[in-house]
Structure 1
Amino acid sequence: MARSFQKPLPEPVPGEQPVNPLPPAVLALFLVVMGVEVALSLGGTGLVGGPGAVGWRIAMLDRFAFAPAVLDYIAWGGRRDPGLLLRFLSYAFVHGSVTHALFAGALLLALGKFVAEGMGQVATLVVFVAATVGGAAGFGLVLDGGQPLFGCYPGVYGLIGAFTYLTWLKLGRAGERRLRAFRLIGGLLAVQLVFGALFGANPQWVADVAGFVAGGAAATVAAPGGLAALRARLRAR
C-alpha cells in the first residue's frame, strides 16, 4: 500500500471559527461603500431607476464630491453651509467606477481588519474619518479650482498610516529597525510615481498623502495609551 505523505488535518477546536470574522465597524463601512456603488452601477445600466438613473453617478459626484473651491468658499467666503462641510466626508462614499470601488473596498477590509484588531473598532473609525477629512483639507490647500476628489482612498491611506504606526510600535518592542514600518507606504508611493510617469499624474495623490499623515497622527491618540504612551516610548529611546 502506498504511503500518504499528506499531513493530517488538525483537530477542530470547539467554539473556534475557521475564519476570523471581520470587525462589524469595518464591515459596515465596506457595505456602505459597496451599497452606493451597486446602486450607481445598476442605475448606469438602466436596470433600476429608469432612464434618469443613467446620470446618477454624475449627479452624486456633483453633489457629494470635494473640490478645492469648497475649501475656498469656507475659508475665504465665510460660508458655513452644512452641505459644503459634509463634502469633507461624503466624497469618500462615491467612486468613479466599479473597479475604483472594488479596489478601495478590498483595501478597506484588509487594512481595517488589521487596525481594528490592534486598536479597536472605535479607534479605527476615528482614524478613517480623520484621514478622510484630512485628505480633503490637504487636497484643498495644495490644489486650486474645481478639480474633484472622490473615493475612499484617502481614508484607506489613513488606515495605512495607522498600520504603519502599529508596526512601528511592534518593531520597537522587538528591538528591530523601526524604519521598516514605512515599507508599505514607500512601496505604494513608488508605484504611484511610476504610474504618474507613464500615464500622467493624478492629483489625488495629494489627498492620499494627507490622509496617510492624518491617519497616522490620529492613531497616536487613538491607540491604546494614546499620547502618554507615545511620549513614554520616545523617552525610552
Structure 2
Amino acid sequence: MQDHHDPSPFNALPPVVVILFLAMALPEAAFSLGEAGLIGGPGAVGWRLAAIERYGFSGDVFDWMMSNGRWLPEHLMRFVTYPFVHTSFTGTLFAVVFLLALGKLVGETLGQLAVVVLFVGGGVFGALVYALVLNDPAWLVGGFPSTYGLIGGYSFVMWHTLGARGEQQLRAFSLIAMLMGIQLLWGVLFGGNNAWFADLLGFVFGFVASTLMVPGGLARVLQKLRRQ
C-alpha cells in the first residue's frame, strides 16, 4: 500500500520566499497577539509602535544624516528593516499575499537571487527617492515598496512573454495600473499618505532591474522603444 501525504503548502515556494514570509509574519503574529492580550502582558500593546520607531524608515532621520554627514548604522538599517514592520494586521496580510504569489513566479522564472534583489532593492530604492523628493515626516513602514519590486519583475516577465507571442505588451502593466488606481480611489475616499510614491518607485526598480538580470533583456526593451 502506498502512503499518501499531504504536501506542505511551502514545498512549492522557493526557500527565499518562505524566509521573507516568516520575516513578515512572525513579527505581525507577536504584535497581534500582544494587542489581544494573549502574550507579553500590558506592555505588549506598545510593541508595534516601538518596532515602528526602531525599524521604520523616517525621512526626517535621513535628512538629519545628510545634513550632518553622519551615516549611523542604526539608522541606515531602516532601509532594509522597514518592510517587515506594518501598522496593522490587514496591511501585513496584503503584503504577504503579494509576496507569496509574485515571489513564487519571480523565483521560478528569474531565480531566487532575483527575488532578493527585487524585494530588497525595491524597498531601498523606494525609501531613498521618497526621502530625497518628498518632505514627509510620516514614517514609511510595510512591505509594499518591496513587493511592488516583485510586481515590477512579474511585469517584465509578462512583457517579454506577450512580446514573444506577438500580443499587446501593454497588458503587462495591467496589474500595476489596477493597484495604483485602487490606491488613488482609496486616497480620495478615505484619505491617504504619500506611501504610494514609494510603492511606485519599488515597481520601477523591479522592472528596470529585471531587464538587467535577464540576458538580452535591456536590449529587447531598447529595441522595442526604438520601434515605437
Q: TM-score, normalised by structure 1?
A: 0.86
User: Does 1:68 pair with 2:59?
Assistant: yes
AA at the equivalent of 2:218: L
Q: Could you tell me which of 214, 219, 224 is aligned with 1:231?
A: 219
User: Does 1:47 pair with 2:35?
Assistant: no
* Structure possessing the higher radius of gyration over alpha carbons: 1
Give 1:190 shift.
1.1
Q: Could you tell me which of 39, 47, 56 is aligned with 1:56?
A: 47
- Report the CA distance shift for 1:167/1:232 in structure 2 as closer, same or farther (over 3 A): closer
**4+ runs of 1 displaced by more than 4 Å?**
17-20
Give 1:139 shift.
1.7
| More moved, 21-30 vs 212-221 | 212-221
Gaps of 5+ in 2: 1-6
Give 1:229 shift.
4.0
Gaps of 5+ in 1: 1-16
**C-alpha distance in 1, partners of 2:113/2:171?**
27
- Superposed CA offset, 1:148-205 (max 9, x none): 1100010111111111111111111111121111111111111111111111132110
Q: TM-score, normalised by structure 2?
A: 0.89
Matches within 5 A, 1:15-30: 21-30=12-21
Matches within 5 A, 1:1-237: 21-223=12-214, 225=215, 228-231=216-219, 234-235=222-223
**C-alpha distance in 2, partners of 1:41/1:18?**
25
Give 1:145 shift.
4.4
The RMSD of aligned alpha carbons is: 1.9
Paired residues of 1:126 and 1:222 also in contact (CA < 8 A): no
**C-alpha distance in 1, partners of 2:181/2:223?**
33
Give 1:222 shift.
2.4
**Identity level (%):** 47
Aligned to 1:11: none
Give 1:39 shift.
1.1
AA at the equivalent of 2:104: K
**C-alpha distance in 1, partners of 2:42/2:32?**
13
**C-alpha distance in 2, partners of 1:132/1:18?**
29
- Report the CA distance shift for 1:113/1:143 in structure 2 as closer, same or farther (over 3 A): same
